[in-house]
Structure 1
Amino acid sequence: MGFLSEPFIFFLYLLVFSNLKLIIPVAESATDATSLVYKGCAKQTFSDPTGVYSQSLSALFGSLVQQSTKARFFKTNSGSGQTTISGLFQCRGDLSNSDCYTCVSKLPQMVDNLCGKTIAARVQLIGCYMLYEISGFAQISGMEMLYKTCGGTNIAGSGFEERRDTAFTVLENGVVSGHGFYTTNYQQVYVLGQCQGDVGDSDCGECMKSAVQRAQVECGSSISGQIYLHKCFVSYSYYPNGVPRRSSSSQSSSSSSSSSSGSNTGKTVAIILGGAAGVGFLVIFLLFARNLMKKHDDY
């Protein structure tokens, strides 16, 4: 076949198709927004011989789910007098309306399965949460810690805690300027914070500061952590190989700006590899045509 042997052509095939595998977009294995984080159920159940509480609760859930198609936070009441039930839902600030609805629509059944007919309940998923309280339920402080989880891997002495704390400082300021939601990354540390939708900017800042302090104390040098207070939550993760690109149908401006450099790098690599694949295809096509012409001349 002239100056190129068949084994070399085979090598070109391998080279081109291995590059193609690199440039074909691979869907990110994003954590399912509807995965359960924790549940909080009051110990006391309500007596409901006439079904009035059940009707009010069902109406409340229906209203919350309906509103989740157009809002990421909604708070309302159902019933009247002693049978009044107040409730709310909130979605993570970077979820689209459709993703928010998908998340919230799963909560009523989960609340019933996990807590039954308790006088108050809260179920937190990764992407959203819902809570309700029957009239007269004792209120708790917005700073009270409801749940925490810390990664099992510790990396003390690597400079990680300094980078995480710098990211936390940016987060504390960003949540206030972002009116309740902010996410960013700093030197391989990804942080996210959110306050309940009816909390003012000043109180949100105080709540976030408390959540950050809890994360520092409770999780120490853990590679990741989540702290849920009554009125806000914070989460962080350390990625030694770089914070992965996050794809969402509705990104916050802070998240988009913080990940823009990474996505631009990926685009550049894809363009280079795509060009190499294109050249490879051209070479193979020409060699194939040359081979056909040679066989034709041999006859």
Structure 2
Amino acid sequence: MRHSRSSISINLLLCLFLLSPQAFADSNAVTDSAFLFHTCSSLQNYTANTPYASNLKQAFYQLASNAPPSGFGLSSVGDDIQSQVNALALCRGDVSPADCKNCIDTASNEIQQQCPNSKGASIWYDFCLLKYSNTKFFGKIDNGVRLYMWNVQKAENPATFNEQVKNLLSGLVEKVEATPKLYVIGEQGIEGPSNKLYGLVQCTRDLSGAACKKCLSDAVAELPNCCDAKIGGRVIGGSCNFRYEIYPIVDAQK
């Protein structure tokens, strides 16, 4: 079983598209924090040994220290608007504090390699999301990036399967607004050899419950474009994501 990456709108204002499909190894093991994608989201750069560079380092340190216990953290470092860094880290709802910290540490190092001196960037792993910017983005739905991934295998009964996927994810979206972590997993029985369909929805916790629901509802509306009749798929953005599979996604579903 493999996953592929679709065309991705990196920045809707720039109309920049990546068309290089990349295969992702599929593993049922939930201990694998695989790299998914990154984007350098700012056209502005900073230089080494400046206040912005120092503030970015401090923001990463704060996130690695403060986010793991709850799986989410915000950091805003610097009083001067010109050098202020705003950063966010989110770990998948089932990930342990130790794995969360490891993922944030890895992401902090990798994003500086992938986007050297950029004043804004985001990076996604299976276990975590890390993003930062020189502008205040907290509380706003981030539609700058939308990543599609899907299983290349198709369901035997596409119409029925599509409806089951939509029903599962829509049901999870309805529940997410009332959850403290803005994270919900679920499952439902289906016909076929797998017998069950598993789903996950999650938002960054700087969003309100209503904004989270809107972000996920818009993402689920992308199902026909992303994952038509595919037995597994996900849509990942800067503020929310969903995933469904015919096998358990997280330990709690085993």
Aligned-partner residue type, residue 85 of structure 1 = V
Corresponding position: 1:154 with 2:154: yes
SS across alignment from 1:177: coil
Per the alignment, do residues 135 and 206 of structure 1 end up closer, same or farther by CA in structure 2, a change over 3 Å counting? closer
Structure 1 counterpart of 2:3: none
Aligned-partner residue type, residue 73 of structure 1 = F
Judge conservation of contact 1:111–1:121 (CA < 8 Å) in 2: yes
Identity of aligned residues (%): 19
1:80-105 CA distances to partner (integer Å, 9 max, x unpaired)?
Answer: 21100100101111112222112212
Let me know the Cα RMSD of the aligned residues: 2.5
TM-score (norm 2): 0.77
Deviation at 1:49, TM superposition (A): 6.0
Aligned-partner residue type, residue 174 of structure 2 = N
- Aligned with residue 209 of structure 1, among 196, 217, 228: 217
Structure 1 counterpart of 2:10: none
Structure 1 counterpart of 2:236: 228
Gaps in structure 1 of 5+ consecutive residues:
1-27, 260-299
Which structure would you say has the larger Rg? 1
How many residues are matched? 218
1:134-180 CA distances to partner (integer Å, 9 max, x unpaired)?
Answer: 1489x985345421112211225253222212211221122223241
Deviation at 1:183, TM superposition (A): 0.5
Corresponding position: 1:190 with 2:198: yes
Aligned-partner residue type, residue 211 of structure 1 = A
SS across alignment from 2:45: coil
Structure 1 counterpart of 2:74: 75
Gaps in structure 2 of 5+ consecutive residues:
1-26, 190-195
**Higher normalized helix content (fraction of residues):** 1
Stretch deviating more after TM superposition (85-94 or 101-110): 101-110
- Separation in structure 1 between the aligned mates of residue 30 and residue 248 of structure 2, nearest angstrom: 12
Judge conservation of contact 2:28–2:248 (CA < 8 Å) in 1: no
SS across alignment from 1:106: helix
**Higher normalized strand content (fraction of residues):** 2
Judge conservation of contact 2:78–2:85 (CA < 8 Å) in 1: yes
1:198-248 CA distances to partner (integer Å, 9 max, x unpaired)?
Answer: 1111111111111111123321111111112332111111x2xxx34853x
Structure 1 counterpart of 2:113: 113
1:8-33 CA distances to partner (integer Å, 9 max, x unpaired)?
Answer: xxxxxxxxxxxxxxxxxxxx951444
Structure 2 counterpart of 1:96: 96
Structure 2 counterpart of 1:56: 55
